[in-house]
Amino acid sequence: MHLVLTREHILTQYFKLVPYHWKDYDLNPGICGRLPLIEDKGFDCGYDKKLEHLPSDQDLSFLGFFLSWRYWKHYENELRHILQFQDTILHEAKSQFHNILSKHKNHQGITTIGVHIRRFERYDTDEFGKNNAPKEYIIHSMDYFRNQYKKCLFLIFSIKMKWTKKNIPQTDDIFLVGCNSAPVDLAMLTLTNHTIMTVGTFGWMAGWMTRGRTVYYKHPATPRSAFSKLYSKYSDNFYPGWIPME
């Protein structure tokens, strides 16, 4: 089967993704609304076994998030090949990354850990039930890596730097990365050795693309909240081998 996207799709702006287009099949965009619809019902963060057996002899339209790694576990190598950053984005990311390393004396043999801190509007959880990872989790996660490696450098990415400066001790092994575009931040995260994520898909993608050790907050959803109901089970969402922590 072929994936059909518009040429203006946001993925084509950030990645070297050459999509098939409606016109390549002598179709028009209106065809999508008339195709059999496959919806990600109920478990946006989980896995629906009913989707294992889809017809391959007809066109289909997909709606939803399909966030479980189980949907594409057999095609991981193909996905990694497809999701290569555009040269301009990767060049900017590498330039900033190397400038940061050069500011640290004796940076040879240093282990870099990308930290993505996402904060929702309320302190503990948002109205949907997404939990903010507390400062204790981030500090514990950094201590975990400090115990694993002799020399660590934590590159922290967040749009909530005010909260970060207030709550995370600013030790010599921490560098707060300035405001970049989202794709440059993501590309920089993938240049690190390991990942600490909080709650959300941005940190999840950073961990998957980096391919090092990934630590995640083990309580992403408030029990019995609307968000918690989007998981069938956490193991369907968080990649095998990732490390839960609190």
Q: What is the pLDDT of residue 17?
A: 82
Neighbouring-strand partners of residue 24: none
- Ordered by where they begin, the domains of the chain are 10-82 (no CATH), 87-245 (3.40.50)
Residue spans of the chain under pLDDT 50: none
Q: What is the pLDDT of residue 94?
A: 97
Q: What is the pLDDT of residue 103?
A: 85
Distance CA 193, CA 207 (A): 10
Neighbouring-strand partners of residue 4: 20
Q: What is the pLDDT of residue 21?
A: 67
